[in-house]
Structure formats: structure tokens, C-alpha cells
Chain A
Amino acid sequence: MKAVCWQGIGQIGVETVPDPQILNPRDAIIKVTSTAICGSDLHLYGGYVPTMYKGDILGHEFMGEVVEVGPGVTNLSVGDRVVVPFPISCGNCYFCEKELYSLCENSNPNAHLAEKMWGHSPAGIFGYSHITGGYAGGQAEYVRVPFADVGPLKVPDSLDDEKVLFLTDVLPTGYMAAEACDIKPGDTVAVWGCGPVGLFAVQSAKLLGASLVIAIDRFPERLGKATQAGADITLDYEEVNVLETLRELTGGRGPDSCIDAVGLEAHMHGATHVYDRVKQAMRMESDRPGALREAIIACRNGGVVSVPGVYGGFIDKVPFGSIVNKALTIKSGQTHVHRYMRPLLERIEKGEIDPSFIITHRLRLDEAPLGYEVFRNKEDECVKVVMKPGMDQPVAHVH
């Protein structure tokens, strides 16, 4: 089969590899019909996540058709159309029983690596480095799905791929980030970053009853999509002073909740940006926390800073004094996707959410190298790339 492989920092290639096999009783094999490039795949592309090896198959946002099931999978049949959560969860351990699926204790075969880095291991993740299991990902024609009796959710044929694909990651991730804010009527929520996760955080914050949602980015097309997602106000941080503007908009108090949907490759201005780039380049700091710092400083006393953005290692000059003295709550975590897929699917079926508005590029699988480049460079107003492995003919790029 064809698969999108990591071939080094900044190098993506489509290689012909063996088809995946059932390796454990609870496995299934999925024929992938749609797969997306995630913003967090760009961290792998840029070499910011350790334990990547040449030949690793990428991709953790994918859906498709069941073509084979192991003897331990009784709830799926060949031919079922399913979306697959990006964390791999056993459904049996202490954390899975508490619906904290991204903390599954049993799905990471390389848990010892994660324990060295983080103290404890999270769940295994498809196509996301060996520290989270080294699982072959879903940017391929076929993919092996472990614990297939727990993760994959059947979707009705009435909804096409583009409406349900983002149940695998970015929609629940944005939703969980907003849910973590414990939004009350009258609340103001500020969202840093209007990529897919930020956009769904904006949309979810509105759904959960926020009175004022402020979206922050620097690309007009992304700010435009934020408005489409329901943002009341958009801020271009190249045009305005974000901290001052947020204070003005909230009568000096600051937003009740601040969501960092940017993560470890934050783009900032001036000296701090140079400082973080240099430290990151010298491997003295693994992550650049510009958005996080600003979110902490902006947040009102006693507020919530919610962090769906991905951080992998160590960050510098985080104003922890602000967290303590303003009594902030920090919420984060890889998304417990399994917990959100069903209720969000219902909202999609009812027409309350149509996640497909974020898609800007539709490509064939073998166009993946182009997709990664365009997405990383935010060229061509790119917000979300979806690849269709079954698609043979080139398709006009649609905005």
C-alpha cells in the first residue's frame, strides 16, 4: 500500500510499504477513505517531537471502512464505516473506566520512554512518534487499529466523510478545551490561534453559552473563519496590543477563560520571540510558549487557562507567579476523544455543528508532501488539508 512517511526533519515522502496485518485479537484493519493533516503533525514535520524515526507512517486523523477484524472484536463488521479516535485506549484500565481515555495505561508499548520524559505514560497515539507507542498512522491506504472494540465509532451513511472526519481529533479537542473553561452565562472567552482546534474551541465556547468570544490570530483568512465559527470579536495581533485590547474589552478584568490553541511553535514579536527561537534551536528549550505566557497574563483573577495546544517538553519563563497570585486554574491534556465522539456526532446529525467549514485543501494521498508544505507555510490560505487515499485523479483545490 501507499503510506505517508516521515523521512527526516522537513521531509515527507509517500512510500510503498507492506499492508498492515492483524497483530492482536482486538485489532481491526481499516481501509482509509479520508485522512487529515493535523497541526500537531507539523510539530513532527519540524522535528520538535523526539523519537521519530525515518520510515514512520504519519497520521492520526482518519476514517474509513472496516475490512478485517480480529477475533476479539465483536461490535464491528467488515464494511462498517467508522471514525477512529487518535488516542488508542483499552477501555479496561483505571483511566479508561473513568473516561480519561487519553491516559490509557495499556496502549503504549513504549511506556518506559514516556515515563522517563514525563514521569508517567499517556495512551498510545497513531503516527505520533515512538514516545507515544510508535504506531503506524492513518495517512495511508490501510491502517491497523488496536482495541478496535473500544475506539472506532460507526457513522451513518447520510453524513459524508467531511462532516464526520474531524470527530477523530480537532473537533473534540476544541470542544474539550472549551468545556474545561466551565463557561457561565456572561463569560468572556479568548482563544489564541485560529487553526482547526482554535476554530472549534471558538465554536464550542459559543455552543456552551459564552457571551463574548474573542479570537486571536494574524492571518485574515483564519480570522474570517473564526467569525464564521461564531467569534464575536477577532484580533489581529500584528495590528493591536492583545493584552491592552483584552483589558479594554472586559472593563479591565480580563477574559474569564483563555484558551491556548497554538502550542509549542508559537509565533511572537520582538525580543521574546528571538529569545525562544534561539533557545529552541540550541536545544535549551524544547517548546516556545509565547501564546501560553500571554494567555496566563491576560486571564482574569481566578480564571481558567485551557491548553489544547501541544507541548512536548520544557518551557521557559512561564509566569508561574501570575498563576499563583491570580489563583488561576490550568487545564490541559490530550483529548479524551472517545468521550466526546458520540455526543458531538449527535450535534452534527442535528445540524448544530458542520465541521467541514475548516477544510481548505483536498488532496490525493501522494500529494502529501505538498500538503505538509502548504499547511506549514500557511500558503494559499491553508487552514486544513484533507487527503483521500481512494482518490485517483487530481482534484482542483477548493477553498
Chain B
Amino acid sequence: MSTEPFETSTNLRPSSESAQYASPYTAYSEWSEGAEPEAEFESEPKIQPQQLSNFLGWFSIGLGLAEILAPRALGRAIGVGEHPGVMRALGVREIVSGLGLLSQRGTQAWAWSRVGGDAMDLALLGAAARRPDADPQRIAMAATAVVGVTALDIYASREIGQAEMPAQDEVISHSLAINSTPEALYTFWRNVENLPRFMGHLESVTSTGDRTSHWIARAPAGMSVEWDAEIVRDDPNEGLSWQTVEGSEIQHQGIVRFEPARSGRGTIVRVELRYVPPAGKVGVQFARILGEEPKVQIKDDLRRLKQLIETGEVATTRGQPSGRRSLIGRTTLGGRVQ
């Protein structure tokens, strides 16, 4: 994880940071009520998933090159006869999977793409076995090899999946300079009913007591999620910390600090959110699929807060006229891109 932008801040950076949790708030661990992050991985897999995906990546590329460069020889070797067109197409597929795996991005999807490819290979071998030019013995050997590789691919896909899964506790932090005073920002934030004015995913926050409030958030697919929260630390004009009350469907914890910027350049607002999403890992995956990326959300939220505090309104073009949009325009515009 990268470090925060304000490297030279004197009072914030803790002397020792854990790799997963490089945030200025580690210094305020007393704020987090014993919520120090646990070790992310309970036990290391015997083979590092990255080594495995690299191996499979190079294997894919090697096989793909053989299929493209020597389709006939390879066809004869595995006993399916000469079908250079099919063989070359399979080679392209192998190379795409291989490059995907080596790119180290979305590795799990690429690993599963290999499993899909294995299934295709087995189906093709089965079909080839019935053809007159087939050599059943060689095909059986080839099929055995593919079954072996398939097992390895499935194992790799699952291991990589485990490694890619985020820790159950998602911690996100962001900061932004706002041209206002810590006092004004604290007052605005302390009135928690203001939060939905800049936190895009919130439907409403209703104050239910001096320190307690009821939150309703928009969830994927038109659903909503509700919970009760309470302020657990309140330092007037300096910061706040709140968390969900026990037994809530969502476990959420937030810290905000209002730090005067140097030479009167406003206030640096630093936010850290930690939450356990509904249904654990599945919930995170689900949220990811729907694009509800928490880090993006907090950035957008803080930008809206800045606009609201500095200008009294949130910049928008939603509702302005336009000429006829294409399909691309209609699907791209209106969401995060206006």
C-alpha cells in the first residue's frame, strides 16, 4: 500500500507501520478501541500463488507459441491429425491467458480462463477421437496430460482467489485540504444529519440522541441497509470517532480529524473508515462487481464536502441539455463521469 501524501507532517506518522495499514491514524490507535488489524493471512499456502500464476502464465505462452508456430507437428504428436486453423486459434487463446496471468492483474479471472480453456481442450480431444484420422492412444495420453493440468489450474485459481480476497476488515483512508476552519468543519460534521449531503451512498442519517444516530445507506440493486451508530470519541474542533452499535448488520467504524494546515491554508480533513461488509467476503466481492469501490467513494465524498463547505453547493451537470447521445454516451455518462 502506498504512503499518505503528507510525508512531512510532523506529528502524524507512527514510527512503525504495518505493511497493510500504512495510515496516519495508526498513531491514534487508542481511538480505534483495540481494532488493530489482525494478520491478513492465517496460513501461507505451500506454493506462493504468484509463483504458481507465473508458472502457468509461461506454460500458456510456451504451449500457445508451439500451437501457432508448429500446428501440424503438434497435431500429429497428440494424435488429432492436422488441423492448423483450430490449433492456431487455440494457440492465441493460450497466449492471451498467459499474458493475462503474467500481468498480475485480475489474476484469478485469468486462472479461471485457463480452466475454461482446459475444458475446451478436453471437449475437442473427445471430438477428435471419433474422427478417422485420429490416433486413440496418443489422444488418451494427451487427454491425461490435460486432466493433470486442469487439476493444477483449478488449484491455482482457488489459491490465487484466496490471496486476492481482501482482509475482512476493509480500512480506507483519504485526506483533502479544505479552505475553512477546523471549527466550522467539526460543527458541520458533528451534526451527523449533514453527512448524506456529501456521502454519496447514504440515504439519510437521523439523530436519535446526543451521540446516537440511525443510518440508512443505498445498497446495490436498489436495496438499502440500515444501522445504528454512536459517537465514541468527541474532541470538539479536532475530530470525531463513531462506530456501529453492537448487533448491527454492518460493522462500521469511522474516524475524522480536522487538522489546521500550515500557514493558514485551511484545514486538512483526514478520514479513516473501517468496516466489515455484509456477508463478509462475498459482500466485498459483490460490492466490487457493482463498482461500489470504497476508496473511490471516500475520495468523491470528501471532494463533495469540500465543494459544499467552500462554495455552498456541489458542482454538477446532471440535468443539463445535450444533443443526441450514442449508446456509448448513454452508458458512460450520468454515473461517476457526468
Residue of A nearest to B336 (CB): A112
Is A144 interfacial (CB 8 A cutoff)? Answer: yes
Give the CA-CA distance A203 to B321 in the complex, in Å.
38
Contact of B321 among A20, A72, A93 (CB under 8 A): A20
Interface residues as binary, A323-339 with B (CB distance below 8 Å gives 1, 0 otherwise): 00000000000000000
Contact B322 A56 (CB under 8 A): yes
Give the CA-CA distance A112 to B295 in the complex, in Å.
13
Q: Evaluate whether A97 and B179 lie within 8 angstroms (CB atoms) in the complex, with A24-B316, A55-B329 already known.
A: yes
Query: Inter-chain contact count A-B, CB under 8 Å?
Result: 116
What is the minimal beta-carbon distance from B94 to any residue of chain A, in angstroms? 28
Give the CA-CA distance A24 to B308 in the complex, in Å.
11
Give the CA-CA distance A147 to B296 in the complex, in Å.
26
Q: Which of A130-138, A169-177, A224-232, A300-308 contacts B (4 or more CB under 8 A)?
A: A130-138
Residue with the highest number of chain B CB atoms closer than 10 Å, among A94, A108, A113, A147: A94
Main secondary structure of the interface of B (DSSP, over half): loop
What is the minimal beta-carbon distance from A86 to any residue of chain B, in angstroms? 16
Per the CB 8 Å criterion, the residue count for chain A at the interface is 47
Contact B328 A93 (CB under 8 A): no
Give the CA-CA distance A268 to B244 in the complex, in Å.
65
Contacts of A209 in B (CB 8 A): none
Is B326 interfacial (CB 8 A cutoff)? Answer: yes
Give the CA-CA distance A108 to B266 in the complex, in Å.
20
Contact of A111 among B303, B319, B332 (CB under 8 A): B303
What is the minimal beta-carbon distance from B316 to any residue of chain A, in angstroms? 5
Main secondary structure of the interface of A (DSSP, over half): loop
Contacts of A72 in B (CB 8 A): 312-313
Q: Evaluate whether A53 and B325 lie within 8 angstroms (CB atoms) in the complex, with A105-B306, A109-B317 already known.
A: yes
Is A92 interfacial (CB 8 A cutoff)? Answer: yes
Q: Given A21-B319, A53-B326, list of 6 further CB < 8 A pairs?
A: A5-B323, A53-B325, A56-B322, A72-B313, A97-B179, A130-B337
Interface residues of A (CB under 8 A from B): 1, 3, 5-7, 13, 15, 17-21, 23-26, 51, 53-57, 72, 90-94, 97, 105-113, 124, 130, 133-136, 144, 146-147
User: What are 13 sample pairs from A and B whose C-beta atoms fall under 8 A apart?
Assistant: A15-B324, A17-B322, A55-B324, A57-B321, A57-B323, A90-B307, A90-B310, A94-B179, A94-B265, A111-B303, A130-B337, A134-B317, A136-B321
